[in-house]
């Protein structure tokens, strides 16, 4: 089997149609069952999607994930509290055929390295839920610590789940990845 080349980079305008098809076109996309399914989701027409295209094109906080140059997901960050440099990140691999092959792990490794190189951060992390065991495993593979487990605060399909915070400090990342080599 051929090894897949995973890259991340800013999304360009001619990729908006593909991003819309992956992220906003479907009525009930499979990826939404894992990406905070307890928050509402509504599909958008392409015209509605384009109204916010400035959120996607050439942004520093929202990039595409590519496998062999094909857009398959997105990765982002947002400030939990910018004054203290508390940044959280997120990731979605939209098409299930790209799940369970290490693509998300590699994309988050690349993104975390990028964030530590470009921003004066002490810590990088993300929040997931206990129903998304794959996302917890990704953090563990990357050397992250489960920093918080808020019990039974996410309600989905009649079941309460825990909210999970994963994170890693800059000095831990440098040890794990030999100064971002």
Q: What is the pLDDT at residue 130?
A: 97
| pLDDT single digits (tens) 62-91 | 999 999 999 999 999 999 999 999 999 999
3-state SS, residue 112: helix
| pLDDT single digits (tens) 27-61 | 999 999 999 999 999 999 999 999 999 999 999 99
Q: Which residue has the higher pLDDT, 91 or 3?
A: 91
Instruction: Enumerate domains of the chain plus CATH numbers.
Output: 6-176 (3.40.630.30)
| pLDDT single digits (tens) 113-159 | 999 999 999 999 999 999 999 999 999 999 999 999 999 999 999 99
Angle, in degrees to the nearest 10, between helices 133-141 and 103-118: 50
Q: Can you read off the two tokens belonging to residue 44? A: 């958008």
CA 163 → CA 54, 82, 110, 135, distances in Å? 30, 22, 25, 12
């Amino acid at each position: 089997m051929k090894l897949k080349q995973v890259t991340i980079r800013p999304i360009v305008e001619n990729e908006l149609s593909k991003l819309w098809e992956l992220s906003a076109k479907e009525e009930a996309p499979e990826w939404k069952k894992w990406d905070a399914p307890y928050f509402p989701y509504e599909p958008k027409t392409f015209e509605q999607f384009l109204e916010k295209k400035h959120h996607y094109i050439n942004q520093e906080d929202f990039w595409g994930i590519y496998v062999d140059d094909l857009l398959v997901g997105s990765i982002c960050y947002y400030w939990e509290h910018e004054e203290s440099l508390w940044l959280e990140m997120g990731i979605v691999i939209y098409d299930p055929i790209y799940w369970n092959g290490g693509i998300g792990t590699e994309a988050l490794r690349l993104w975390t390295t990028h964030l530590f190189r470009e921003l004066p951060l002490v810590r990088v992390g993300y929040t997931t839920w206990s129903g998304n065991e794959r996302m917890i495993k990704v953090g563990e593979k990357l050397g992250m610590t489960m920093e918080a487990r808020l019990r039974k605060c996410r309600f989905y399909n009649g079941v309460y789940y825990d909210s999970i915070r994963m994170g890693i400090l800059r000095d831990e990342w440098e040890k794990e990845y030999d100064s971002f080599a």
